[in-house]
């Protein structure tokens, strides 16, 4: 378990973001990437608080004290991320965006579909199905965290956001730096809770098969809902395309500008998960993430 060999203590850094001078279209001349990435503000609070609820339930099943410490650090970081993105939701509401239709869908995914008794299936609350359902959700978190870790490294290497709104860019960079920092925790926890190597490999592939298309669909759908509310009619027109049309427009834009990760990048990230030797440790550079966290304006503001 690499996280244990090279143990790094996870701390949740206090942050505060003042969006009063930030525009909704925070990447200049790029409404497509701006709205799609803004959509992440709607997904994360519900998703990351759900991570915390699931992870709190796993603590009695973890035997290794270092992993317990990692999981507790992970919970504290994810709760801080969720609160920061809640403040970004307020910012979008202040700019006249109606978030309710998208939030309704997202809350259903994390509250009902992935809740304690999904779709009212009470049987999953009974032992031993309860344990199976907990391990399944831990696996879903691991699959999602594969993307947040890889996107984190993409963000650490990115230069194009240097010309974007500094507060919003810092919010995503701070968050994604911590995603790089804790990128191995979810995988290690899933492995700990599923000790049979063959089942672990097969189940993590099965879960990725579900997570990848849902992840892409939700990102595009939420981004589109925001784009449709843009005051600029030309942007509304792009948002009114089919999801496939919107995604291909996004892909071309991201490829041209590097303002967002391309779909090819996401696909290659998914393919790396297929390897039986895969471990998130090789997906990112912890020192590079720590270097960003040391100079992040939001982190510095509150640590002084």
Q: Which stretch binds Fe ion (CB under 5 A): 78-86, 124-132, 158-166, 214-222?
A: 78-86
Q: How many residues bind Fe ion (CB under 5 A)?
A: 4
Residues 147-166 that bind Fe ion (CB under 5 A): 148
Q: Which stretch binds Fe ion (CB under 5 A): 70-78, 101-109, 213-221, 233-241?
A: 70-78
For Fe ion, give the closer residue by CB, 70 or 78: 78
Q: Distance between CA atoms of 59 and 274, rounded to whole angstroms?
A: 28
* Spatial contact of 186 and 142, defined as CB atoms under 8 Å apart: yes
x-or-dash string of contact with Fe ion, 197-236, rule CB under 5 A: ----------------------------------------
Closest-CA residue to 161 (of 180, 184, 177, 178): 177
Q: Which stretch binds Fe ion (CB under 5 A): 77-85, 163-171, 194-202, 235-243?
A: 77-85
In the bound state, the residue with its beta carbon closest to Fe ion is 81
For Fe ion, give the closer residue by CB, 71 or 194: 71
H or E segment to which residue 3 belongs = helix 2-5
Q: Which stretch binds Fe ion (CB under 5 A): 83-91, 106-114, 175-183, 224-232?
A: 175-183
Residue 164, Ramachandran bin (φ over 0: left; ψ between -120 and 50: alpha; else beta): beta
For Fe ion, give the closer residue by CB, 227 or 260: 260
For Fe ion, give the closer residue by CB, 78 or 165: 78
* Spatial contact of 41 and 108, defined as CB atoms under 8 Å apart: no
Instruction: Please state the closest distance from residue 58 (CB atom) to Fe ion, in A.
Output: 15
DSSP strands (E only) in 38-146: none
**Residue 81 within binding range of Fe ion, rule CB under 5 A:** yes
Instruction: Please state the closest distance from residue 77 (CB atom) to Fe ion, in A.
Output: 6
Instruction: Please state the closest distance from residue 120 (CB atom) to Fe ion, in A.
Output: 29
Closest-CA residue to 223 (of 207, 239, 241): 239
CA distances from 35 to 13, 39, 42, 92, 238 (A): 27, 6, 11, 11, 11
Is the sign of the CA dihedral 209, 212, 216, 219 positive or negative?
Answer: positive
Could you tell me the end-to-end alpha-carbon distance of the chain, in angstroms, rounded to an integer? 35
Closest-CA residue to 259 (of 150, 146, 164): 164
Residues 234-293 that bind Fe ion (CB under 5 A): none
x-or-dash string of contact with Fe ion, 109-148, rule CB under 5 A: ---------------------------------------x
Q: Distance between CA atoms of 247 and 217, rounded to whole angstroms?
A: 9
For Fe ion, give the closer residue by CB, 140 or 235: 140
The residues of the shown chain that bind Fe ion, judged by CB under 5 A, are 78, 81, 148, 179
């Amino acid at each position: 378990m690499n996280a244990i060999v090279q143990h790094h203590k996870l701390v949740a850094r206090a942050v505060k973001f003042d969006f009063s001078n930030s525009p909704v279209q925070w990447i200049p001349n790029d409404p497509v990437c701006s709205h799609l990435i803004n959509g992440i503000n709607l997904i994360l609070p519900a998703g990351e608080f759900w991570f915390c609820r699931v992870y709190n339930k796993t603590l009695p099943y973890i035997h290794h004290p270092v992993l317990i410490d990692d999981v507790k650090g992970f919970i504290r970081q994810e709760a801080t991320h969720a609160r920061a993105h809640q403040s970004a939701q307020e910012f979008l509401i202040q700019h006249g965006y109606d978030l309710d239709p998208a939030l309704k869908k997202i809350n259903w995914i994390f509250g009902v579909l992935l809740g304690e008794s999904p779709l009212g299936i009470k049987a999953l609350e009974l032992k031993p199905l309860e344990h199976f359902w907990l391990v399944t959700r831990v696996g879903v978190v691991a699959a999602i965290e594969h993307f947040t870790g890889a996107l984190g490294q993409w963000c650490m290497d990115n230069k194009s956001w240097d010309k974007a709104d500094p507060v919003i860019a810092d919010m995503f960079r701070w968050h994604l730096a911590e995603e790089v920092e804790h990128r191995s925790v979810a995988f290690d926890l899933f492995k700990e809770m599923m000790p049979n190597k063959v089942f672990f490999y097969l189940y993590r592939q099965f879960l990725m098969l579900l997570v990848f298309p849902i992840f892409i669909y939700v990102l595009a759908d939420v981004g589109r809902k925001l784009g449709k509310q843009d005051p600029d009619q030309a942007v509304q027109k792009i948002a009114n395309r089919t999801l496939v049309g919107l995604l291909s427009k996004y892909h071309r834009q991201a490829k041209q500008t590097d303002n967002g990760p391309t779909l090819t990048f996401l696909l290659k990230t998914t393919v790396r998960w297929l390897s039986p030797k895969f471990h998130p440790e090789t997906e990112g550079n912890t020192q590079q993430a720590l270097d960003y966290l040391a100079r992040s304006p939001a982190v510095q503001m509150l640590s002084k």
